Amino acid sequence: MILYLLLLVTNDPFFKKFVLDKGVSPFAGWPGKKSAKTMLHINQGQHLKLITKTFVSLTHFKANRHLKLILPRTFAFTELRKTWFSTQPLLGNKNIILMGPPGAGKTTVGKIIGQKLDCVVIDVDNDILETTWNMTVAEKLKDVGNEQFLEEEGKALLNFNASGAVISLSGSNPMHEATMQHLKKNGIIVYLDVPVIDIINRLNLMKIDRIVGQNSGMPLKEILKYRKKFYKKWYDIRIFCEDGASTEVVADKVFDAVKRYRDVDSETFVSTRCKFRHPEERVTPKYFSDAVIEGLASDGGLFVPRKEFPKLSCLEWKSLVGATYVERAQVILERCIHPVDIPASRLGEMIETAYGENFACSKIAPVRHLSGNQFILELFHGPTGSFKDLSLQLMPHMFAHCIPRTCNYLILVATSGDTGSAVLNGFSRLTGSDKQRIAAVTFFPEDGISGFQKEQIIGSQKENGWAVGVKSDFDFCQTAIKKMFNDSDYTGFLTVEYGTALSSANSINWGRLLPQVIYHASAYLDLVNQGFISFGSQVDVCIPTGNFGNILSAVYAKMMGIPFRKFICASNQNHVLTDFIKTGLYDLRQRKLVQTFSPSIDILKSSNLERHLHFVTDRDGKLMTKLFHQLESQQHFQLEKILVEKLQQDFIADWCSEENCLAAINSTYHTSGYILDPHTAIAKVVADRVQDKTCPVILASTAHYSKFAPAIMQALKIKEINQTSSSQLCLLSSYNALPPPHEALLERTKQQDPKYHICAPDVNILKDHVETLIQTHFMKVF
């Protein structure tokens, strides 16, 4: 008998039972509630297939081998959730610590919450500092000066201990590192985020004279801005205090937010194909992190949140009207991602990294008036020129945070266009150890994408990202990847041999869908900010649609409280979706994919549609299973009339021919001096035809026109002499049209193309290549 050592870090009941059923005797007993190291005896030659729902499968133990197997997913978050806090009512022995600028209402709000919870209320200024020093804070500040004051203030708190209390900090406490470390150990730090302008107004009324730094001549506005950095560093919960909110309202918000924070099981995900009405009783809960790492649910469905989307109040939205894209993103995503998955302050940092200098426009996703009631939402200012950047500049950071520390991840995606370069670019922006343990490979059809797209994908290769041309079509690439994921021998081998798991980043991933909600909401707020509408009036959106992700995130923005009216789905000649929305019949029979000028919506199986149907059918998982199995086996399904009508309440759809697409590019250029990319042109044609002009309509411009230069040249009737994509791009740039040239794309064409690998259309060859990439990139873990 050979002894194999398995380090099992799991409490997955399925997994335990499976191994026990196989007659494997645990050496040290199975871990109970706690995960533990466990030794197993396995007889030589015995084949043990371990499959967790997440990713690990391991077969064919080789003889004489010491295996150290770590099953990361099941462990990391379940355990974390259990130990997150004690199960006491709201506070347990934790403190609620209120932090915020002077004048934010910390003291008053603290008192209200204290009453509500019937617990001790401590005001740092009055109860600690002034009693310790035996003088007022203002006197002390005058006495010792700014720096000394901060030091003494910090010291006074270091010896302070409380539990189950509400503590209102002073405005300057957060600037003292050690104090905050000390307080954070036993407290939930709640940041009362009040707009700077409101604070200045309040302070002027209150005639406050005890603000550190106030006497230095620095304008109050600068002091407050400077402090914001510290607040952002420490908070666990941000309470967004909109203009004019009363202290009672703020206190209620704090209360609700703390409740959410402590209820780690409150925000779970289910598969669209989940059969149970109350899945929490039947299936292991899935969290945001699981949804991001796993992508697809094990039953083939897509993950959706079990609860409704969080809603922002009208006042809250209004106070975001003047906010930047980053600020809007932070507020929106904090509501949608539970802090146990990603702590709010960490999420805030990720958002700042994602939407910064890498975008050519500081507004990230600006809205531009086109003509009449039509507005263009420019989603192409990211580094690779399509709207995919808006999610893929952020998603890799969330992914890196969610995965367990013990494992490497290789992201596999198949691409026929914009996804490939956006994925490679997004993941290449990871830094440090994240970059060492997460890499990406994109497979593209070697002869099936445009010259420029190919150059772009190849040119996006970085030290942790590779492009692989496959001598076949897109479908082959897609199927090959699926086969790799489903081959448990292969994935198990990669896990054991290289400590590497496979994952995906395609458009059904929740981590890609969610960031798209931001720009739809942001576009609406921009229309308010620019004075075109007032908050509350209705607006339509019109979106060139393929996999239904972009348009679905607009629906989610509406669920969060943005008053969108109609969602207009624009298709090209591959108009299966339009037909479906019009008739309820999703029919692939006799439908052949045709190549168009708008290749990114040349799609017949619109994967995210399942999420919307799940919603329309009131979460009928059984029906979803039936419909989508039927689509698989019989190539069509029909939705019931009553449901079709429900769908049509929100959706309008139409399609645009190739001819009309080019004509729209031409006429828009000649009337407005604006060049539409072919996808945006599809949206424009459809909006012209079906939108009733009783309210504004936002056309989603999903790509920069220079990505599709040949179509644009044809539309504008520009004769080209030189056929290279770089010369085409330069020529188009010389037109001085709007939007301005995309610098990053222009740069791209000037660079020499690096090498890339080409594979024959054989899954085994792709597998070998993936293994080689893993071998050379990841440090061996075992």
Ligand X SMILES: *Cc1c(COP(=O)(O)O)cnc(C)c1O
Cβ neighbours of 514 (radius 10 Å) = 23
For ligand X, which is the closer residue by CB, 258 or 683?
A: 683
Give the pair of three-digit tokens for residue 102.
Answer: 């002077």
Q: Is the dihedral of CA 390, 392, 398, 402 positive or negative?
A: positive
The helix or strand, by DSSP H or E, that contains position 465, with its residue range, turns out to be strand 465-470
- Interaction with ligand X in 519-558: which residues (CB under 6 A)? 544-550
Judge whether 106 and 127 are in contact, CB under 8 Å: no
Give the pair of three-digit tokens for residue 682.
Answer: 């599809």
DSSP 93-104: TPEEEEE-STTS
Query: What is the Cα Rg of the chain in Å?
Result: 28
For ligand X, which is the closer residue by CB, 272 or 600?
A: 600
Tell me the per-residue interface mask from 85 to 104 with ligand X, x by CB under 6 A, - otherwise: --------------------
Tell me the per-residue interface mask from 402 to 441 with ligand X, x by CB under 6 A, - otherwise: ---------------xx-----------------------
We find the least distance from the C-beta atom of residue 30 to ligand X, in angstroms, to be 44
- Looking at residue 679, its amino acid is H
Q: Does 456 bind ligand X (CB under 6 A)?
A: no
Question: Which residue, among 235, 221, 197, has the nearest Cα to 319 in the 3D structure?
Answer: 197
We find the least distance from the C-beta atom of residue 29 to ligand X, in angstroms, to be 49
- Interaction with ligand X in 651-690: which residues (CB under 6 A)? 679
We find the least distance from the C-beta atom of residue 420 to ligand X, in angstroms, to be 10
We find the least distance from the C-beta atom of residue 732 to ligand X, in angstroms, to be 17
For ligand X, which is the closer residue by CB, 472 or 702?
A: 702
We find the least distance from the C-beta atom of residue 213 to ligand X, in angstroms, to be 48
We find the least distance from the C-beta atom of residue 413 to ligand X, in angstroms, to be 12
We find the least distance from the C-beta atom of residue 512 to ligand X, in angstroms, to be 9
We find the least distance from the C-beta atom of residue 257 to ligand X, in angstroms, to be 32
- Looking at residue 617, its amino acid is T
We find the least distance from the C-beta atom of residue 547 to ligand X, in angstroms, to be 3
Q: Residue with structure tokens 């791209």?
A: 748
Q: Does 384 bind ligand X (CB under 6 A)?
A: no
For ligand X, which is the closer residue by CB, 19 or 365?
A: 365
Q: Which of 600, 617, 668, 728 binds ligand X (CB under 6 A)?
A: 600
What is the DSSP pairing of strand 269-271 with strand 95-99? unpaired
Q: Which of 137, 360, 601, 712 binds ligand X (CB under 6 A)?
A: 601
Q: What is the rounded distance in angstroms from the CA atom of residue 379 to the CA atom of residue 31? A: 50
We find the least distance from the C-beta atom of residue 62 to ligand X, in angstroms, to be 43
We find the least distance from the C-beta atom of residue 576 to ligand X, in angstroms, to be 13
We find the least distance from the C-beta atom of residue 715 to ligand X, in angstroms, to be 16
Q: Does 390 bind ligand X (CB under 6 A)?
A: no
For ligand X, which is the closer residue by CB, 52 or 456?
A: 456
Q: Does 507 bind ligand X (CB under 6 A)?
A: yes
We find the least distance from the C-beta atom of residue 677 to ligand X, in angstroms, to be 7
The residues near 371 (Cβ < 8 Å, ≥ 6 apart) are 671, 672
Give the pair of three-digit tokens for residue 715.
Answer: 């539309």
Judge whether 79 and 136 are in contact, CB under 8 Å: no
For ligand X, which is the closer residue by CB, 704 or 769?
A: 704
Q: Residue with structure tokens 């993936």?
A: 770
- Interaction with ligand X in 718-757: which residues (CB under 6 A)? none
We find the least distance from the C-beta atom of residue 295 to ligand X, in angstroms, to be 15
Give the pair of three-digit tokens for residue 48.
Answer: 């043990």
Q: Does 388 bind ligand X (CB under 6 A)?
A: yes
For ligand X, which is the closer residue by CB, 279 or 549?
A: 549
Judge whether 379 and 409 are in contact, CB under 8 Å: no
Q: What is the rounded distance in angstroms from the CA atom of residue 766 to the CA atom of residue 757? A: 10
Q: Does 78 bind ligand X (CB under 6 A)?
A: no
Helix (H, G, I), strand (E, B) or coil at 214: helix
Q: What is the rounded distance in angstroms from the CA atom of residue 421 to the CA atom of residue 416? A: 10
For ligand X, which is the closer residue by CB, 271 or 550?
A: 550
For ligand X, which is the closer residue by CB, 101 or 549?
A: 549
Q: Which of 172, 271, 386, 725 binds ligand X (CB under 6 A)?
A: 386
In sequence order, which ranges of 374-417 are alpha helices (DSSP H)? 388-392, 395-402
Give the pair of three-digit tokens for residue 445.
Answer: 């059809």
For ligand X, which is the closer residue by CB, 608 or 625?
A: 608
The phi, psi pair for 544, rounded to 5°, reads -70, 120
Judge whether 272 and 238 are in contact, CB under 8 Å: no
Q: What is the rounded distance in angstroms from the CA atom of residue 21 to the CA atom of residue 674? A: 67
For ligand X, which is the closer residue by CB, 388 or 777?
A: 388
For ligand X, which is the closer residue by CB, 137 or 703?
A: 703
For ligand X, which is the closer residue by CB, 98 or 543?
A: 543
The residues near 242 (Cβ < 8 Å, ≥ 6 apart) are 313, 315, 316, 318, 319
- Report how many residues bind ligand X under the rule CB under 6 A: 17
For ligand X, which is the closer residue by CB, 265 or 475?
A: 475
Q: Does 702 bind ligand X (CB under 6 A)?
A: yes
Q: What is the rounded distance in angstroms from the CA atom of residue 753 to the CA atom of residue 455? A: 7
For ligand X, which is the closer residue by CB, 95 or 550?
A: 550
Count of residues in the chain: 782
Give the pair of three-digit tokens for residue 8.
Answer: 């099992």
We find the least distance from the C-beta atom of residue 389 to ligand X, in angstroms, to be 10
Question: Which residue, among 247, 256, 262, has the nearest Cα to 111 in the 3D structure?
Answer: 247
Between helix 325-336 and helix 344-354 the angle, nearest 10°, is 140
Judge whether 664 and 670 are in contact, CB under 8 Å: no
Which positions touch ligand X (CB under 6 A)? 386, 388, 417-418, 507, 544-550, 600-601, 679, 702-703
